[in-house]
Amino acid sequence: MSDLFQQARRHIEKTLLERAAADPSFRALLVSDPHAALKAAFGTDPIPHLTIRVVEERENEAVLALPRAVASDELSDEILDLASGGFASPFGPDFSSICPPKTSLGKG
């Protein structure tokens, strides 16, 4: 997974966990309908195509989530980005699709 995806995931998880800790009704929604909880927290569901499973730990229990195993013949997100024409800039994420560079210097 790309570093940008990991950063976004950590942000989403942190936001959801903090709100669930402070709001029992949001916690119940997160457990029963994670996509509705995402919409409630962010105004949209940023990952509607993913299945989300929320597991609530019980007393004297620890839950460990293992990341999915990547097959040896599977391409990484970084390689797929390059193949599709994307790139990773050393200066941070590429936002050119939503903030395209100006083609002129204010002339015209």
Distance between CA atoms of 43 and 45, rounded to whole angstroms? Answer: 7
**Count of alpha carbons within 13 Å of 16, Cβ hemisphere only?**
24
Q: Which amino acid is at 34?
A: P
pTM of the model: 0.61
Q: Over pLDDT 90: what percentage of the chain?
A: 39
Distance CA 108, CA 104 (A): 8
In single-letter form, the type of residue at position 88 comes to A
Band of pLDDT at residue 103, cut at 50, 70 and 90: very low
Q: Alpha-carbon distance 55 to 63, whole Å?
A: 8
Rounded to the nearest angstrom, the gap between the alpha carbon of residue 17 and the centroid of all alpha carbons in its chain is 14
Q: Enumerate the domain spans of the chain.
A: 3-83
Q: How far apart are CA 28 and CA 36, in angstroms?
A: 11
pLDDT tens track for 16-63: 999 999 999 999 999 999 999 999 999 998 888 889 999 999 999 999
Long-range CB pairs of 91-97 (<8 Å, 24+ gap) are: 93/4
**Percentage of the residues of the chain whose pLDDT score is greater than 70:** 64
> Cβ atoms within 10 A of the Cβ of 95, count?
9
